[in-house]
Structure 1
């Protein structure tokens, strides 16, 4: 189990946030409601969704590498 306060826990949390926001951006009603603001707290979700959609190959590789690290090496 990863700890949120460790470095690898923060990496996993960030990757999960990016993947979740990119997935939720594909839902039309949530896109209007959740990703319309580009500043403030909701802006973090918007920026995470943009990172997830533009860098989807890099994010997917990072997810696989972090999963291998947590399951095998740790």
Structure 2
């Protein structure tokens, strides 16, 4: 629960959510496409971000991995 209080941890969780949703949508599109609105629509929106902005998301994942590996 305390992971969301640190900025780098929050960014890591958001990146993992985006990547996971994009991967799930690539495997089974019907799972996320039926929930485009409401609270479950967040996962559909994350999948769309992961698909459309994939080079930027990939760069952010690489930068986040480097900072996690070499911090402290």
Q: Give the TM-score band, short-chain normalised.
A: 0.7 to 0.9
Q: TM-score, normalising length from structure 2?
A: 0.87
Q: TM-score, normalising length from structure 1?
A: 0.85
| Equivalence for 1:58 | 56
**Residues 21-36 of structure 1 aligned to structure 2 (within 5 Å):** 21-28=21-28, 31-36=29-34
RMSD over aligned Cα atoms: 1.3
Runs of 4+ in 1 over 2 A off after TM superposition: none
The 2-side partners of 1:33 and 1:52 are apart by 16
Whether the aligned pair in 2 keeps the contact of 1:35 and 1:45 (CA below 8 Å) is no
The 2-side partners of 1:24 and 1:33 are apart by 8
* Residue ranges of structure 1 left out of the alignment (5+ in a row): none
The 1-side partners of 2:67 and 2:34 are apart by 35
Matched residues, number: 70
Offset, 1:40: 1.2
* Residue ranges of structure 2 left out of the alignment (5+ in a row): none
